[in-house]
């Protein structure tokens, strides 16, 4: 309620009080009667009154200033207000002159007690002074009392203002209000409202401005209570003064109209209240049914999931029975404990840090987790973690819903192992088939080769040129077929090596280099092997793997430069990652997967010799050692062949 408009309103009123009191003080020196008593022949605002209003405005300005100096000034000013107010009351009470009335200017206008404030004015200033002191107490009770005192001042000023509006002649006023000027009443109204508004959170002011229904009713009623009787009195007294109606009749009309307007006004307000009550009841009903719905959801949720609610640090605040069953912990053991209680060492700490990062972004995390139970065993759960934000947008709690999926996981693992077994069996069958087929094919092929050799030598003289060319083609085809079958046989034999040995990769590369000595020196190849590791593996296979990669690097060299081959290795956890890098012709992106398949080649055999099985061998060997193989390359920029070996 105390918003910007109120601030501007308060400042304006303060300026009005300052201006009026200032002009009255000046007018006393300059004898401007029109300002001293605004209504002719009525009471004047005394110099002391104007001075005290001036001081009141200062008190209001410096009231909330923090400095010691301002606070001392505040108390001095309050003291002066209290002192002059009280002394004036004493003057009235004991009919004495304490020489304060004409201290600053001499009042030559007022007939009775010149320069002296009216009883009502003196009392009002004393009350305002108490009000100012009340603003500085810490005790709510005192603050409430002083607020009520300020409201009494407001009430006195209001009554005095009414006497003017109703044009009650001074002689008809009680001596209490006799000499309170109209602008004095108004300035009391203004300054007491400003003081009362300084304590908006207590007492009547709180009641007036709160958002609750009672306060809204009060706000609606106050204008009615203040205005209607007042306006009615004003019009009727005017009619009575002008002898248009008689006094007694006036009272009857006043009563009847007041009752009528009261009934109409209160009916309108009651209608409004009923309307908002209907709305509230409908809302209540809605909330009740939504609550019931929520309870149903909760029951449903509780019956199928384990629920945990933690604060934003992961401390468990709420759980349901399913969680205690799932984790084997008691409710007492869980509440107040950390959620990390369920973390299993199946995961690296970074795994949970990543989950937390997702949650702290305000995103729901969903996934499958292995959870630790009290007895040290683990279970698989399907888990959803929902972060809940408060009204400031910061995460306040996490709601964790878990479902036991251990049975499903077991079934999946079983299926997987069955599948792996079937696959292994099928692979064996296939390898055997390849072995037998390639082995048996060699025999007829040898026959074809030897008989075509016999034919071509025995019938050398009888064969014409065309037949000789045909024999040449037969010879080429059979020798190629023979090398293909041999390659196939080698491929199917891979993996039959039984003995795992410790292989020194540096020695291995040295030996390969020696074997390939002729090719290496013919092609001017440079092989740079960085310090390579020792590892456990099938030596013949690993040797074949390196040899294939090195021979390919030499074979697929660029025409205008000598091959440079760099071999390196990096340890990543429990695997070794090798890289064989060359400066050869490179491989386009679209072929980089295809080349590892059996008999897949990117070139004609006239261009580059080969069967297309070398990389298939490499892949099988890497797989045999728990690893994989891949290539990074681009045409004419060389290739990097990577392969990994599991180092157990
Ligand atoms: P082959 O060498 O007998 O052709 P591979 O299986 O060893 O069979 O290689 C398959 C294909 O991959 C090759 O035909 C060639 O096109 C490509 N390739 C292999 N290694 C390289 C390399 N170092 N540089 C460029 N291309 C290569």
pLDDT tens per residue across span 240-258:
888 888 888 888 988 999 8
Residue 481 has pLDDT above 90, yes or no: no
In ligand 1, the atom with minimum distance to the C-alpha of 596 is 6
Q: How far is the CA of 587 from the centre of ligand 1 (A)?
A: 9
Q: How far is the CA of 525 from the centre of ligand 1 (A)?
A: 17
In a domain, 539, yes or no: yes
Say yes or no: CB of residue 556 within 6 Å of ligand 1: yes
Q: How many residues does the chain have?
A: 648
- pLDDT confidence of residue 287: 94
- pLDDT confidence of residue 178: 63
CA distances from 186 to 16, 119, 189 (A): 10, 16, 5
DSSP class of residue 165 equals: H
Same domain for 262 and 366? no
Number of domains making up the chain: 5
Residue numbers of the domain that contains 563: 501-646
Same domain for 609 and 508? yes
Q: Is 139 left (phi over 0), alpha (psi -120 to 50) or beta?
A: beta
Q: Which of 473, 492, 511 is the last residue of a domain?
A: 492
- Among protein residues, the one with the nearest Cα to ligand 1's atom 1 is 612
- Among protein residues, the one with the nearest Cα to ligand 1's atom 12 is 595
The bridge status of strand 501-504 relative to strand 395-404 is unpaired
Same domain for 148 and 86? yes
Whole-structure pTM value: 0.49
- pLDDT confidence of residue 498: 67
The 3-state secondary structure of 438-499, one letter per residue: HHHHHHHHHHHHHHHHHHHHHCCCCCCHHHHHHHHHHHHHHHHHHHHHHHHHHHHHCCCCCC
Q: Which of 241, 261, 295 is the last residue of a domain?
A: 295
Residue 406 has pLDDT above 70, yes or no: yes
Residue 2 has pLDDT above 60, yes or no: no
Query: How much is the average pLDDT of 339-361?
Result: 87
Distance, CA of 166 to CA of 305 (rounded, Å): 77
Tens digit of pLDDT for each residue in 133-167? 999 998 999 999 999 999 999 999 988 888 887 77
Same domain for 333 and 430? no
CATH number of the domain residue 451 falls in: 1.10.287
In ligand 1, the atom with minimum distance to the C-alpha of 584 is 24
CATH number of the domain residue 380 falls in: 3.30.450.20
Same domain for 143 and 56? yes
In a domain, 467, yes or no: yes
Same domain for 146 and 253? no
Give exposure, 397-427, as e/b (b: 16+ Cβ within 10 Å).
Answer: bbebbbbbbeeebeeeeeeeeeeeeeeeeee
Distance, CA of 547 to CA of 515 (rounded, Å): 10
- pLDDT confidence of residue 175: 57
Same domain for 90 and 165? yes
Q: How far is the CA of 246 from the centre of ligand 1 (A)?
A: 125
Say yes or no: CB of residue 550 within 6 Å of ligand 1: no
Q: Which helix (H) or strand (E) holds 135?
A: helix 119-135
| Candidate from 133-142, 471-480, 610-619 with smallest mean pLDDT | 471-480
CA distances from 604 to 235, 519, 529, 543, 607 (A): 119, 21, 31, 27, 5
Strand order in the sheet with 564-572: 526-529, 564-572, 575-581, 639-646, 629-633
- CA triple 162-8-49, angle to 5 deg: 45
The closest alpha carbon to 591, from 622, 634, 641, belongs to 634
- Among protein residues, the one with the nearest Cα to ligand 1's atom 19 is 552
Candidate from 580, 615, 637 with most ligand 1 atoms within 8 A of CB, to mutate: 615
Residue 41 has pLDDT above 90, yes or no: no
Residue 177 has pLDDT above 70, yes or no: no
Tens digit of pLDDT for each residue in 490-536? 777 776 666 889 999 999 999 999 999 999 999 999 999 988 999 99
Distance, CA of 119 to CA of 49 (rounded, Å): 12
Cβ neighbors of 175 (< 8 A, separation 6 or more) are 119
Burial (0-12, 13-18, 19+ Cβ within 10 Å), 592: middle
Same domain for 205 and 219? no
In a domain, 300, yes or no: no
Same domain for 82 and 38? yes
DSSP class of residue 608 equals: S
Say yes or no: CB of residue 585 within 6 Å of ligand 1: yes
Same domain for 317 and 253? no
Same domain for 269 and 395? no
- pLDDT confidence of residue 497: 60
Say yes or no: CB of residue 601 within 6 Å of ligand 1: yes
Distance, CA of 166 to CA of 229 (rounded, Å): 11
Q: Which of 449, 474, 492 is the last residue of a domain?
A: 492
- Among protein residues, the one with the nearest Cα to ligand 1's atom 13 is 601
The bridge status of strand 564-572 relative to strand 526-529 is parallel
Query: How much is the average pLDDT of 54-74?
Result: 92
Same domain for 381 and 456? no
The position carrying tokens 């499958």 is: 368
Q: How far is the CA of 612 from the centre of ligand 1 (A)?
A: 7
Residue 636 has pLDDT above 60, yes or no: yes
């Amino acid at each position: 309620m105390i918003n910007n408009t109120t601030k501007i309103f308060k400042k304006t009123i303060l300026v009005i009080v300052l201006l009026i009191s200032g002009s009255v003080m000046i007018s006393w020196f300059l004898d401007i009667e029109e300002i001293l008593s605004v209504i002719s022949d009525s009471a004047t605002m005394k110099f002391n009154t104007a001075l005290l209003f001036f001081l009141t405005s200062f008190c209001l300005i410096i009231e909330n200033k923090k400095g010691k100096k301002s606070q001392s000034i505040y108390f001095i000013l309050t003291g002066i207000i209290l002192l002059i107010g009280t002394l004036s009351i004493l003057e009235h009470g004991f009919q004495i002159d304490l020489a304060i009335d004409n201290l600053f200017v001499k009042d030559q206008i007022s007939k009775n007690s010149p320069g002296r404030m009216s009883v009502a004015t003196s009392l009002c200033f004393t009350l305002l002074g108490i009000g100012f002191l009340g603003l500085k107490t810490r005790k709510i009770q005192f603050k409430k009392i002083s607020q009520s005192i300020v409201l009494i001042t407001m009430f006195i000023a209001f009554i005095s203002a009414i006497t003017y509006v109703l044009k009650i002649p001074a002689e008809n006023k009680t001596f209490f209000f006799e000499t309170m000027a109209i602008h004095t009443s108004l300035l009391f109204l203004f300054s007491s409202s400003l003081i009362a508004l300084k304590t908006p959170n207590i007492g009547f002011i709180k009641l007036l401005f709160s958002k609750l229904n009672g306060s809204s009713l009060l706000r609606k009623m106050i204008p009615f209570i203040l205005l209607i009787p007042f306006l009615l009195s004003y019009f009727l007294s005017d009619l009575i003064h002008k002898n248009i109606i008689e006094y007694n009749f006036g009272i009857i009309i006043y009563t009847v109209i007041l009752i009528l307007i009261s009934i109409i006004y209160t009916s309108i307000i009651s209608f409004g209240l009923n309307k908002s009550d209907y709305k509230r009841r409908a809302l209540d009903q809605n909330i009740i049914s939504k609550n019931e719905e929520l309870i149903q959801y909760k029951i449903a949720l509780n019956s199928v999931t384990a629920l945990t609610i933690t604060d934003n640090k992961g401390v468990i605040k709420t759980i349901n029975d399913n969680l205690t069953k799932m984790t084997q912990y008691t409710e007492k053991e869980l509440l107040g404990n950390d959620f990390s209680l369920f973390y299993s060492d199946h995961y690296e700490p970074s795994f949970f840090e990543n989950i937390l990062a997702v949650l702290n972004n305000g995103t729901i995390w969903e996934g499958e987790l292995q959870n630790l139970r009290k007895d040290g065993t683990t279970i698989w759960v399907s888990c959803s973690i929902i972060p809940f934000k408060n009204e400031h947008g910061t995460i306040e709690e996490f709601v964790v819903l878990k479902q036991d999926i251990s049975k499903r996981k077991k079934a999946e693992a079983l299926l997987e192992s069955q599948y792996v077994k079937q696959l292994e069996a099928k692979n064996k069958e296939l390898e055997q088939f390849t072995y037998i087929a390639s082995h048996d094919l060699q025999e007829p092929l040898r026959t074809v080769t030897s008989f075509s050799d016999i034919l071509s030598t025995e019938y050398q003289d009888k064969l014409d040129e065309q037949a000789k060319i045909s024999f040449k083609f037969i010879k080429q085809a059979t020798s190629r077929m023979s090398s293909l079958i041999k390659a196939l046989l080698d491929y199917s034999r891979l993996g039959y090596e039984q003995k795992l040995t410790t292989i020194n990769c540096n020695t291995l590369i040295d030996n390969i280099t020696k074997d390939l000595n002729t090719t290496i020196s013919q092609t001017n190849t440079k092989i740079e092997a960085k310090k390579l590791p020792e590892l456990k593996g099938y030596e013949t296979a690993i040797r074949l793997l390196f040899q294939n990669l090195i021979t390919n690097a030499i074979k697929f060299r660029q025409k205008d430069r000598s091959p440079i081959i760099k071999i390196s290795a990096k340890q990543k956890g429990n695997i070794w990652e090798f890289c064989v890098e060359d400066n050869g012709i490179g491989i386009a992106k679209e072929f980089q997967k295809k080349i590892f398949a059996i008999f897949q080649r990117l070139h004609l055999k006239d261009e580059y010799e080969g069967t297309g099985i070398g990389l298939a061998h490499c892949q099988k060997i890497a797989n045999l050692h728990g690893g994989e193989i891949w290539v990074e390359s681009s045409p004419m920029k060389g290739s990097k062949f990577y392969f990994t070996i599991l180092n157990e």
